[in-house]
Structure 1
Amino acid sequence: MQDFIARLIEESKRFLNERAQIDDDIGQEAAKFVAREIPAPSGTFEKSDSPLIRWIEDSAKHGSSETANLLKALKPALPFLPWKYNYELRADMPDLGNRMGWGEILGPEAPYHDEHFCFGFTLLGKNTLYPAHYHPATELYVVLSGHAEWTLDGVSKVRGPGEFILHPSNHVHSMQTRDEPLLALYTWSGEDVVTLSKYV
């Protein structure tokens, strides 16, 4: 399994390196991960028992030619990522943790330990709202599979495979899926990558 993860990290860096050649805010965020030294793993990747597992098979079916190689590297690793959802519970959305979550590979609590940078994958099931929230970290997403409505500071746009989305520090954003699950790569950077998101 460790070989799968190593290949996934390598392919993720290759993918982001192409975008890092453009010198803008998104390119600079992509370059941070490309240049990041990946430590030896301090944890293991066991098969997950997360409820998100039921979305995995479908979640990788809605990519594009642009994301195909990364999805190919990601697919065997998906059941073994440390999927979790540890935000505050919401009385109005009690099953949200069964419909969305993230598998972090690099980060303060990830198998590859890094106190100052995060890298992983986010998965949202069909017809799922990731409610409006914000966090201190600067967040870069790239959609790998599926289409969703992404909203940043009140402006909404449907995004699909191959598109990059940048969420600056403490800006309010949300995502809404419809008839496809969403699978996306993410990175967190900045002075504080430990503080979790807060819902608006």
Structure 2
Amino acid sequence: MMNNTGVQAWAQDIISSGDVLRRSLQNVLSGSGCDQAQAHAAGLDTAQWTIRKTAEISGALPGFLEGHLSEALDAAPRTDDDLVSIRDALGKLLPHVTWINRQAWADQDSAFVERHRHGMIAGPGGLFECSSLTLGLAIMMPATCYPYHQHPPAEFYLVLSPGDWYRQDVGWWSSESGGLVFNPPSCVHAMKSTDVPLLALWG
């Protein structure tokens, strides 16, 4: 059991890592020159988040996915300081997040349900409470397809390992590590991993 000093040190380390993640992600988005990226960067800038009062993890990452997460994090891009900072901050935050999975639609292949998880960093169920945005990390095993779906909020992904992406106005394309993917509100989209795990930070 942690004493008050231990709890304070744990919280401060988490808060500091969260600040690094947010600042570095803002820099990546702002540096892309894309209007959609600027809007998401502005949302990160104005978001107010606070660490949850409990340190309990209600949903741990299943053991069969741990190796895939480690593999993908080890291979995550280090091509600039912000990407290095994002990777390092994730390494400190992820042991403390809740991991959830999404259910497939009734008429879709449900194999992906057990082959993927989302680590919830900020927003509903996240390590940080935040009312204006949701931030998470998606991990999918190799050869897994996240089915076609849509939702009202606009969405971005920072791609941390290679994978294939779909958007209804573009079709399928491949993105290398370090790329950005944007999905407008209510746009049908999907993603799938290749022969390596797919790892992406999304908001």
SS in 2 for 1:39: strand
Q: Which runs of 5+ in 1 are unaligned?
A: 188-200
Q: Tell me how far apart the structure 2 counterparts of residues 45 and 183 of structure 1 sit (CA, whole Å).
A: 24
User: How much identity, in percent, do the aligned residues show?
Assistant: 22
Contact 1:142 1:163 in 2 (8 A): yes
SS in 2 for 1:61: helix
* Match 2:14 to one of 2, 5, 8: 5
- Is 1:48 the counterpart of 2:63? The answer is no
Of structures 1 and 2, the larger Rg is shown by: 2
Tell me which residue corresponds to 2:30. 20
Q: Tell me how far apart the structure 2 counterparts of residues 143 and 57 of structure 1 sit (CA, whole Å).
A: 16
* Match 1:133 to one of 133, 143, 149: 149
Identify the range of structure 1 (81-90 vs 152-161) with the bigger mean alpha-carbon deviation: 81-90
Q: 1:55 to 1:79 in 2, by over 3 A?
A: farther
CA shift, 1:80, in A, is: 3.0
Contact 2:155 2:202 in 1 (8 A): yes
Tell me which residue corresponds to 2:94. 78
Identify the range of structure 1 (156-165 vs 84-93) with the bigger mean alpha-carbon deviation: 84-93
CA shift, 1:31, in A, is: 2.0
Q: 1:45 to 1:141 in 2, by over 3 A?
A: farther
Q: 1:90 to 1:55 in 2, by over 3 A?
A: farther
TM-score by length of 2: 0.79
CA shift, 1:82, in A, is: 0.7
SS in 1 for 2:40: helix
Q: Tell me how far apart the structure 2 counterparts of residues 101 and 69 of structure 1 sit (CA, whole Å).
A: 22
* Match 2:183 to one of 167, 178, 184: 167
Please report the RMSD computed on the Cα atoms of aligned residues, expressed in angstroms: 2.4
Tell me which residue corresponds to 1:29. 40
Q: Tell me how far apart the structure 2 counterparts of residues 178 and 168 of structure 1 sit (CA, whole Å).
A: 24
CA shift, 1:86, in A, is: 3.6
Q: Which runs of 5+ in 2 are unaligned?
A: 1-9
- Is 1:156 the counterpart of 2:172? The answer is yes
CA shift, 1:62, in A, is: 2.1
Q: 1:95 to 1:3 in 2, by over 3 A?
A: farther
Q: For residues 91-130 of structure 1, what are the structure 2 equivalents within 5 Å?
A: 93-130=109-146
Count of aligned positions: 186
CA shift, 1:4, in A, is: 4.7
Q: Tell me how far apart the structure 1 counterparts of residues 153 and 61 of structure 2 sit (CA, whole Å).
A: 28
CA shift, 1:23, in A, is: 6.1
